[in-house]
Structure formats: C-alpha cells, structure tokens
Structure 1
C-alpha cells in the first residue's frame, strides 16, 4: 500500500488508441489493477477525432 493514502497524485498519459474501445487504455488499467497497489480513483478520456488532414 502507498505510504500516503490521503494524497491524490495526478497522472496524465497521452497515447494514440482506437475508439470507442480504447484497447491500450484498457491494457494499461488492467496492468495497473493486477500489479500496482495504488488505487486509481478516476479516469477521464479526451478524444480529438480527426476525419481528415489538410
């Protein structure tokens, strides 16, 4: 268990993923759940879907 459970640390991660399933995000969250004692309290996903480039 983390030393300071009352401290909330922010973690920002940017990655290219496939919407709407977000398999990379799910792999990361599953890994975290299985291997790291710290608890993730909240997950926010921001998506900037681009249909074409100019």
Structure 2
C-alpha cells in the first residue's frame, strides 16, 4: 500500500521539483525541458537520482543539465498532536 503525501511529510519527506534539460535525439542542437516532481528525502534525494538513472538507461534524449529545488512542507515545529480541545468564549 502506497503512503499518502501527509504520511511522507511526517516522515521528513519534502517536495522536490526538478527541471530537466535534455537534447532531442534527432536534433542535437535543440534543447527541451521536462519537469519532474515527487516527495523525496534531502540531502540525498534517492527518488530523484533513481529517476535520473532511469532516464539515462531508457530514454534516448541525452541529459544536458538539471536544476532542482526541495521544500519541506511540514517541519517539527509546525505539527503537534492535539488530544483535546477547549473552547473559551
């Protein structure tokens, strides 16, 4: 069963966005872009590097460069468990 984005964020994952520049297989002078986005762990980024390896093994367009950013959506100070709630008027 796949984990939900909230479960991943609580485990320390953040949203990683990569802009991949690659050359067209038939037209080597033409650069194209592809945007990839997934929840990943910084600073190692195992999912991003797995995707890059997949690209190099299976896709004909050679990579030119990759720009990426990572943003943790929930940090330790932003999430707390609430057991009860009191309303004060």
**Structure 1 and Structure 2 fold alike (TM over 0.5):** yes
Structure 2: runs of 5+ lacking an equivalent: 1-23, 80-89
Return the offset for 1:2: 1.1
Q: What is the aligned-residue RMSD (CA, Å)?
A: 2.0
Rounded Cα–Cα distance in structure 2 between residues aligned with 1:29 and 1:47: 16
Structure with the larger strand share: 2
Normalised by the length of structure 1, the TM-score is: 0.80
Aligned length in residues? 54
Normalised by the length of structure 2, the TM-score is: 0.53
TM superposition outliers: structure 1 runs of 4+ over 3 Å:
none
- Which residue among 26, 29, 46 is the counterpart of 2:49? 26
Secondary structure of the 2:71 match is coil
